[in-house]
């Protein structure tokens, strides 16, 4: 066995790589389990908050809280999907992360536009709020275009193949 095929402690590189791959898979599986459990808990919390909050805070406020929690649930589900795809394809897949960014930006938009009355705080606060909403809308558009281009590039045959 040649010296270049061994690591400094004498362990063959192939064995070391196999152990590292197993450890990586284990971490992905554990992260997936945590995301899945968190998703189930968030759905339960959204239902509970909607049912109890309708009597305490009113239906509209309870619905806003439930929507906020459900959007967070969608983020957990998309991250779980990213972990699942990474394990299946044995490479990092970009599309779920783009979707997480889109959902997070939409969540921020819902919070910005639905929870505060920007007109009560004066023109300066209103202007700043509108700028923030515009920036978040821009982020959603850019991420959506990236997701569209990514899908299109995956569907079309490569110029190298044809």
Task: Work out the pLDDT band at 122, boundaries 50, 70, 90.
Answer: confident
Q: Note the residue count of the chain.
A: 162
End-to-end C-alpha distance for the chain, whole angstroms: 43
Helix (H) or strand (E) holding 116: none
| Residue range 28-49, pLDDT digits in tens | 999 999 999 999 999 999 999 9
Q: Which residue has tokens 């997480």?
A: 100
Q: Which residue has the higher pLDDT, 155 or 82?
A: 82
User: From the CB of residue 1, how many other CB atoms can be counted at a distance below 10 Å?
Assistant: 7
Strand partners, 12: 6
> What pLDDT does residue 95 have?
87
| Residue range 87-100, pLDDT digits in tens | 888 888 888 899 99
Distance CA 8, CA 116 (A): 61
Compute the mean pLDDT over every residue in the chain, rounded to the nearest whole number: 85
Distance CA 96, CA 76 (A): 11
- Contact (Cβ atoms closer than 8 angstroms) between residue 69 and residue 42: yes
Q: Which residues contact residue 85 at a Cβ distance below 8 angstroms, ignoring those fewer than 6 apart?
A: 93, 96
Residue 136 has pLDDT above 50, yes or no: yes
| Residue range 56-80, pLDDT digits in tens | 888 888 888 898 899 999 999 999 9
């Amino acid at each position: 066995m040649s010296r270049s095929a061994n690591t400094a402690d004498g362990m063959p590189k192939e064995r070391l790589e196999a152990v590292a791959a197993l450890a990586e898979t284990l971490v992905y599986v554990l992260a997936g389990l945590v995301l899945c459990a968190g998703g189930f808990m968030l759905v339960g919390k959204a239902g509970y908050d909607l049912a109890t909050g309708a009597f305490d805070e009113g239906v509209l406020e309870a619905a806003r809280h439930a929507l906020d929690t459900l959007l967070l649930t969608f983020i957990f589900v998309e991250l779980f999907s990213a972990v699942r795809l990474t394990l299946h394809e044995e490479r990092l897949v970009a599309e779920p992360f783009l979707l997480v960014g889109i959902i997070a930006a939409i969540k921020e938009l819902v919070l910005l536009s639905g929870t505060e009355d920007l007109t009560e705080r004066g023109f300066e606060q209103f202007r700043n709020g509108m700028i923030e909403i515009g920036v978040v809308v821009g982020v959603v558009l850019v991420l959506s275009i990236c997701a569209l281009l990514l899908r299109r590039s995956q569907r079309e045959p490569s110029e190298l193949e044809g």
